[in-house]
Amino acid sequence: MDDRGSGLIGTVAGVLVFLAFLLFAVQLLIGLYATSAATSAAFDGARIVAGRRSRPDDPAGSTRARAQAEDRMRAELGRFGSRVTFDWSASDDEMIALRVEGPTPRFLLPGLGRPLGLDRIDRTVRVRREVDR
């Protein structure tokens, strides 16, 4: 009996499994990096708004500070910044709350990331408003 070529199917299967694990690892690392970058940018943006030197009852100053913070956050996030949304609605007089939400960069097939929770970033940061005494 001739054994030539009998290991080909096992080798191909092994390479495909290895590539699948490698693709999953890349997706996981890119997702973790994007989540970390979005959280860092959100904290920086909330800190900018919390440290502004205008009166708390000045809506125009608050709107300007939020627009400035959003511009800086989008610049920090680069191309990814155009796909995220910023929600300031949970903020009050004492606390700045910023929610960042958006899709993660994807390397897996579209249906594979959703069950694993790797398809969206949803982070909320809270920073106390600075008050001069």
State pLDDT tens for residues 59-113: 677 788 888 999 999 999 988 888 999 999 888 878 889 999 998 887 766 666 6
Q: What is the pLDDT of residues 114-131, one digit of tens each?
A: 666 667 889 999 998 877
Whether the predicted model's global pTM rises above the 0.85 cut: no
Domain locations along the chain: 8-128
Of 14, 8, 73, residue with least CA distance to 42:
73
